[in-house]
């Protein structure tokens, strides 16, 4: 038994963590565009990165360090430092070396970047700004704002977990990402801090356990960026840990952030849960659910608030998942429109299904009727705004 309490403070909520965001002049109008997460002791470090083979320089730099402890992450928006070759790595080393010279006590600092691909980092501006950081600031909101790109709101969360014996630990997090993933300007980044008493291996296992059903279950446009990053830092300061409590809390927090990202999808107006059950196995359920969340035809039907269940059936049929029209059942929330070969889509049902689709959040549930495999994916609609945002982002 344990208790989870939502608290404020974002990545600064756990003891010993600090963060801030300021302007380096990368975004127009003096908006915040560089951020840091700092811990006053070196941290156990876990991370999960993009599967994109054109991996951005900051990820290659991080990976080249092998197993290590760090207490400093420097994050910039507006430039992804991707497709920049060996020069991109050298730029990171030069920046971090200059920042280490300005601030004492940085241990194996790392970088994380999001923005345009194929342009060298504006080193001087980033260094100049990073020198001005107050490492003991607790401005988690400013940090979460600085890492935004096409995001329309900042995304952060923090939870205090009270274990049965009264001991407590905290987890804090911030994330950005509005296209999932827009390589031009909207990579998905997430930074998590904790004072839970767990080593790097335990943190890594927890991260890998929760990513598939949180960030990897979310989709805005089906693209995978060169820069996607989740980094988890743990300083063990609370002296408290419970594996189940930690993983459950981390899952809930990252799911909340993932859902925030989808509902902030470029131009999105709705957050839809694609709940696939009754598949032969979980993998088949995942295949069908992800196909639904990525389908352009589903996305436009959702935008148009059209309960076009034929598109649901067709998308599942095309997904590669084993399925059969004679065993399939489709529901919009609690409105069943097709049940095991029987079309229930009369005028009254259509009206009720259309009413469900007018909501900002609803579920399209598909029972394949074949087994016990299940998966929930999260998606959004695609409207004129998405086209507008992405048709001329660079200009």
- CA–CA gap between residue 235 and residue 194 (Å, rounded): 7
The b/e string for 264-302 (b: 16+ C-beta within 10 A; e otherwise) is: bbbbbebbbbbbbbbbebbebbbbbbbbbbbbeebbebb
Contact status, residue 111 vs residue 37, Cβ threshold 8 Å: no
Residues 255-294 contacting its own copies, CB under 8 A: none
Contact residue for its own copies among 194, 213, 263, 295 (CB under 8 A): 295
Whichever of 248 and 300 has its CB closer to its own copies, that residue is: 300
CA angle 33, 131, 119 (to 5 degrees): 45
> What dihedral do alpha carbons 85, 91, 96, 97 form, nearest 10°?
120
**Residue 101 interacts with its own copies (CB under 8 A): yes or no:** no
* 122 touching its own copies, by CB under 8 A: no
Pair type for strands 361-367 and 329-332: antiparallel
Span interacting with its own copies, options 126-134, 135-143, 205-213, 302-310, rule CB under 8 A: 302-310
CB of 33 to its own copies, least distance (A): 19
Question: How big is the site for its own copies, counted in residues (CB under 8 A)?
Answer: 66
CA 280 and chain centroid, separation: 28
List the one residue from 23, 55, 100, 269 that touches its own copies (CB under 8 A).
55
* Interface segment toward its own copies; rule CB under 8 A; list 104-112, 155-163, 209-217, 305-313: 305-313
Shortest Å, Cβ 213 to its own copies: 21
β-pair type (342-343, 361-367): unpaired
Which residues fall within 8 angstroms of residue 237, CB to CB, at 6 or more apart? 14, 15, 16, 41, 195
Q: Does residue 248 belong to the site contacting its own copies (CB under 8 A)?
A: no
Q: Is 214 a catalytic residue?
A: no
User: Whose CA is closest to 37, among 150, 168, 175, 154?
Assistant: 175
**Is residue 64 a contact point for its own copies (CB under 8 A)?**
no
Q: Give the separation between CA 114 and CA 229, rounded to whole angstroms.
A: 10
| Annotated catalytic residue within 84, 141, 159, 187 | 187
Reduced to 3 states (helix: H, G, I; strand: E, B; else coil), residue 53 is: coil
Write the DSSP symbol of residue 393.
S
Q: Which of 378, 364, 358 is nearest to 264 (CA)?
A: 378
Nearer Cβ to its own copies (116/142):
116
Q: From CA 46, how far away is CA 232, in angstroms rounded?
A: 5
List 113, 149, 204, 225, residue binding its own copies (CB under 8 A): 225
Task: For residue 239, state whether it binds its own copies (rule: CB under 8 A).
Answer: no
Q: Is 313 in the site for its own copies (CB under 8 A)?
A: yes
* Residue selected from 6, 201, 243, 296 as contacting its own copies according to rule CB under 8 A: 296
**Least CB distance to its own copies at residue 222 (A):** 6
Of 200, 145, 192, the closest CA to residue 172 belongs to 192
Does residue 384 interact with its own copies by CB under 8 A?
Answer: yes
Site for its own copies contains 338 (CB under 8 A): yes
Residue 391 lies near its own copies (rule: CB under 8 A): yes
* Selected range binding its own copies among 45-53, 91-99, 123-131, 256-264, rule: CB under 8 A: 45-53
Q: Which residues are catalytic?
A: 187
Which residues of the chain form contacts with its own copies (CB under 8 A)? 50-55, 80, 82-85, 116-119, 179, 182-184, 221-226, 295-297, 300-301, 303-304, 306, 308-311, 313-318, 321-326, 328, 338, 341-343, 345, 382-384, 386-387, 390-395
């Amino acid at each position: 038994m344990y208790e989870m309490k939502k608290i404020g403070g974002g990545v600064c909520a756990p003891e010993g963590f600090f963060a801030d965001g300021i302007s380096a002049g990368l975004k127009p109008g003096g908006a915040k565009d560089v951020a840091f997460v700092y811990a006053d002791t070196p941290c156990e470090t876990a991370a999960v990165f993009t599967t994109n083979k054109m991996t951005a320089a900051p990820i290659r730099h991080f990976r080249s360090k092998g197993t290590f402890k760090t207490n400093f992450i420097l994050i910039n928006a507006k430039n992804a430092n991707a497709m920049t070759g060996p020069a991109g790595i050298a730029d990171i080393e030069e920046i971090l070396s200059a920042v280490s010279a300005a601030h004492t006590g940085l241990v194996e600092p790392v970088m994380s970047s999001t923005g345009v691909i194929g342009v060298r980092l504006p080193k001087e501006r980033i260094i100049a700004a990073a020198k001005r950081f107050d490492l003991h600031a607790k401005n988690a909101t400013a940090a979460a704002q600085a890492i935004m790109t096409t995001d329309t709101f900042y995304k952060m969360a923090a939870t205090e977990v009270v274990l049965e014996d009264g001991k407590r630990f905290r987890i804090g997090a911030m994330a950005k990402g509005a296209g999932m993933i827009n390589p031009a300007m909207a990579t998905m980044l997430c930074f998590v801090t904790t004072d839970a008493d767990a080593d790097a291996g335990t943190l890594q296992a927890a991260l890998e356990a929760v990513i598939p059903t949180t960030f990897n279950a979310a989709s805005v446009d089906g693209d995978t960026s060169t820069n996607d990053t989740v980094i988890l830092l743990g300083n063990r300061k609370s002296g408290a840990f419970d594996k189940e409590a930690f993983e459950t809390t981390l899952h809930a927090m990252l799911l909340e952030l993932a859902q925030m990202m989808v509902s902030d999808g470029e131009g999105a107006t709705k957050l839809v849960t694609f709940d696939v059950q009754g598949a032969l196995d979980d993998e088949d359920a995942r295949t069908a659910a992800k196909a639904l969340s990525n389908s352009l035809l589903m996305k436009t039907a959702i935008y148009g608030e059209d309960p076009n269940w034929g598109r649901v059936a067709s998308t599942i049929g095309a997904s590669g998942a084993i399925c059969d029209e004679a065993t399939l059942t489709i529901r919009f929330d609690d409105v069943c429109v097709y049940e095991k070969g029987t079309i229930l889509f009369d005028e009254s049902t259509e009206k009720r299904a259309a009413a469900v689709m007018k909501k900002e959040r609803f579920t399209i549930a598909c029972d394949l009727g074949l087994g016990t495999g299940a998966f929930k994916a999260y998606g959004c609609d695609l409207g004129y705004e998405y086209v507008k945002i992405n048709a001329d982002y660079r200009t």
